[in-house]
Amino acid sequence: MKFLDLAKVHIRSGAGGGGCVSFRREKFIEYGGPDGGDGGRGGDVVAEAVDGLNTLIDFRYQQHFFAKNGQPGQGSQRTGKSGDDIVLRVPVGTEILDEDEETVLADMTEVGQRVTLASGGNGGFGNLHFKTSTNQAPRRANAGQPGVERTIWLRLKLIADVGLLGLPNAGKSTFLAATSNARPKIADYPFTTLVPNLGVVGVDGVEFVVADIPGLIEGAHEGRGLGDRFLGHVERCSVLLHLVDGTAEDVVADWRTIIGELDAYGGVLAEKPRVTVLNKADALTDEDIAARRAALEAATGGPVLVMSGVSHEGVTEVLRALRAEIGADRLRQTRAGETGGEDDAWHP
C-alpha cells in the first residue's frame, strides 16, 4: 500500500427538497384544503476515524464527495425523503483543515470519532404549512435550502508514542526492525526510508508504538533533502529517540544539526522529552565509545545511552528509558499467550 499523508478533497452536502403545493381532492369531500408536504433534508458530509488505516491513499483516486439531495414534498401531506449522508473514512490521527491549510476544522484522534464537515440543507415547507384562519388555500411553498460546498485538506499525523530522529543512515530503520516486526527498507545509502514506518515494541510487560521517519539533513526546514514534511508525524509522540551515528567524524555536529532543525520547525516538537543514543557501538572500540559518549554528554547536558541495533547491545536499556517517558495511560499490557503474529512486539 502506498503512503500518502496529505490530500485535497472537494465536498458538497445535499440540497433540501422543495415544498409541494397541493390540494386535497377526494370525492364527497368539499373544501379539502391544502395538503402539500415538506421537502426532505439534504444529506450531510461526515468524516469518521476508522481503525486499520494508516494512509490517505484512497483520496488520491477520489477527490469529490457529494451527498444526496433531499426529495421534494408530495401531496397528501407526504414529506420528501431525506438525502443519504456521505462518510469520509480517514485514519486515526488525521487533521482536517480548511482551504487555507491553516485553520483546523477537526482533529480525528480516536477510533469512531465523527464530525460533520458540511450540513445538508433543510427541506422547504409545503403549502400546508402556510394555512391560517385567514388564508385557507395558500398557493405558496418554499424551495429547499442549498447544500454547502467547500474544499478541505486532509493531513495525516501518525499516532505513535515514540518518534525516531536522526541523520540519514543513523540506524533508525535498523532499530525499528530489531525491536519490532516492522520491516522497513534497510540499505547502506542515505534516504533509504522514504515514508514513515510504524512498529510495536515491548519491554517489561508493556507495549508502545514507535514511528520511524525519513532522515533529516541540514537545511531540511528550507526543503533540502526530503525536507521537514514528515516531522508532523512525530508531533503527537510522548518522547523522541535521537539516534546519533557513532561512526561519524563529528558526533556533536551531527547532534546539533538535528536539534537546529527541530528549533527551526517550531511548535512543541523542540520541547518534547528526548532520549539521546550513540548508535552503532558494534563498529567502535571501547576507547572511541567512551570519548564520543563524553563529547555528546557535554553537548547535551544530560546522559547519553550507547546501543547497537545490529547486535542488540544496549537495546533493552534504551527501551526502558523510552518507557519511563511515556504516560501510563498510553502504555498497554503485553498480549499474553500470543506468539508468532505479524503485529506481535519484540521483547528482550
Evaluate whether 335 touches 344 at the Cβ level (below 8 Å): yes
**Residues 221-255 pLDDT 10s:** 555 555 566 777 777 888 888 888 888 888 898 88
**pLDDT range class, residue 333, cuts 50, 70, 90:** low
> Is residue 285 pLDDT above 60, yes or no?
yes
Known binding residues? 166-173, 191-195, 212-215, 279-282, 308-310
> Is residue 1 pLDDT above 60, yes or no?
no
**In the block, residue with C-alpha cell 483543515:** 97
Backbone angles phi, psi at 232, to 5 degrees: -60, -25
Q: What is the CA radius of gyration of the chain?
A: 29
Per-residue pLDDT, averaged over 192-218, amounts to 73
Per-residue pLDDT, averaged over 19-34, amounts to 86
Known binding residues for Mg(2+)? 173, 193
Choice between 58 and 219, residue whose per-residue pLDDT is larger:
58
According to the model, what pLDDT value does residue 221 have?
53
Known binding residues for GTP? 166-173, 191-195, 212-215, 279-282, 308-310
In angstroms, what CA-CA distances link 150 with 35, 46, 64, 118, 334?
Answer: 36, 13, 10, 8, 44
Backbone angles phi, psi at 290, to 5 degrees: -65, -45
**Residues 139-181 pLDDT 10s:** 999 999 999 999 999 988 877 788 888 888 777 778 888 787 6
Domains of the chain from N-terminus onward = 1-156 (2.70.210.12), 162-333 (3.40.50.300)
DSSP assignment of 81-108: PPPPPEEEEEETTEEEE-TTS-SEEEEE
State how beta strands 45-50 and 86-91 pair: parallel
**With b meaning 16 or more CB within 10 Å and e meaning fewer, what string describes 44-77?**
bbbbebeeebbbbeebeeeeebbbbbbbbbbbeb
Task: Tell me the β-bridge partners of 50.
Answer: 91
Task: With CA atoms as reference, report the closest residue to 41 among 128, 149, 148.
Answer: 148
pLDDT > 90 in the chain, percent: 27
